[in-house]
Amino acid sequence: MNLFDVYPINDVTIVKAKGSYVWDDKGEQYLDLYGGHAVISIGHTHPHWVKRIEEQLEKIAFYSNSIKIPLQQELATKLGKVSGKEDYQLFLCNSGAEANENALKMASFHNGRKKIIAFSKSFHGRTSLAVAATDNKNYIAPVNETDNIIFLPLNDEKALQECFDTNGKEISSVIIEGIQGVGGINVAENSFLQKIRSLCDEFGAVYIADSVQCGYGRSGKFFSHDFSGVNADIYTMAKGMGNGFPVAGIIIAPHIKPKHFQLGTTFGGNHLACAAALAVLEVLEEEKLMGNATLIGKYLRDELEAIPELKNVRGRGLMIGFDVPEELKDLKKNLLWNQKIFTGESKPNVIRLLPSLALKKRDAEQFIDSIKEEIALLQETAS
Ligand X SMILES: Cc1ncc(COP(=O)(O)O)c(C=O)c1O
Q: Which of residues 216-245 bind ligand X (CB under 6 A)?
A: 238
Closer residue to ligand X in complex, CB, 221/340: 221
- Asked if residue 72 binds ligand X (CB under 6 A), the reply is no
Total site size for ligand X, rule CB under 6 A = 14
Cβ contact 37:239 at 8 Å: yes
- Out of 182, 251, 300, 364, the residue judged to bind ligand X by CB under 6 A: 182
Q: What is the smallest separation between the CB atom of 214 and ligand X, expressed in angstroms?
A: 7
Reduced to 3 states (helix: H, G, I; strand: E, B; else coil), residue 320 is strand
Q: What is the smallest separation between the CB atom of 236 and ligand X, expressed in angstroms?
A: 7
Closer residue to ligand X in complex, CB, 96/217: 96
Sequence-distant (6+) residues with CB within 8 A of 198 are none
Q: Whose CA is closest to 29, among 363, 377, 373?
A: 363
Show the site string, 77-116: x = touches ligand X by CB under 6 A, - = not: ------------------xxx--x----------------
Closer residue to ligand X in complex, CB, 43/96: 96
Contact stretch for ligand X (CB under 6 A) within 70-78, 122-130, 316-324, 334-342: 122-130
Q: What is the smallest separation between the CB atom of 97 and ligand X, expressed in angstroms?
A: 3
Cβ contact 236:216 at 8 Å: no
Closer residue to ligand X in complex, CB, 238/284: 238
The Cα-based distances of 104 to 33, 63, 195, 341 in angstroms read 31, 27, 20, 37
Cβ contact 225:245 at 8 Å: no
Cα–Cα distance, 373 to 335 (Å, whole number): 9
Q: Which of residues 149-178 bind ligand X (CB under 6 A)?
A: 177
Cβ contact 169:203 at 8 Å: yes
- Asked if residue 212 binds ligand X (CB under 6 A), the reply is yes
Instruction: Please report, as a single letter, which amino acid is at residue 8.
Output: P
- Out of 19, 35, 43, 181, the residue judged to bind ligand X by CB under 6 A: 181
- Asked if residue 187 binds ligand X (CB under 6 A), the reply is no
Closer residue to ligand X in complex, CB, 328/353: 353
Closer residue to ligand X in complex, CB, 179/358: 179
User: What order do you get walking across the sheet with 115-119 strand by strand?
Assistant: 89-93, 248-252, 234-237, 206-210, 171-177, 115-119, 149-152
Cα–Cα distance, 368 to 200 (Å, whole number): 42
User: What order do you get walking across the sheet with 29-32 strand by strand?
Assistant: 14-18, 21-24, 29-32, 341-342
What's the angle, vertex CA 153, arms to CA 148 and CA 155, rounded to 5? 120
Closer residue to ligand X in complex, CB, 238/357: 238
Closer residue to ligand X in complex, CB, 195/239: 239
What's the angle, vertex CA 325, arms to CA 322 and CA 330, rounded to 5? 95
- Asked if residue 135 binds ligand X (CB under 6 A), the reply is no
Q: Whose CA is closest to 273, among 242, 250, 238, 251?
A: 242
- Asked if residue 123 binds ligand X (CB under 6 A), the reply is yes
- Asked if residue 321 binds ligand X (CB under 6 A), the reply is no
Closer residue to ligand X in complex, CB, 38/375: 38
- Out of 113, 124, 271, 332, the residue judged to bind ligand X by CB under 6 A: 124
- Asked if residue 213 binds ligand X (CB under 6 A), the reply is yes
Q: Residue numbers of the site for ligand X (CB under 6 A)?
A: 95-97, 100, 123-125, 177, 181-182, 210, 212-213, 238
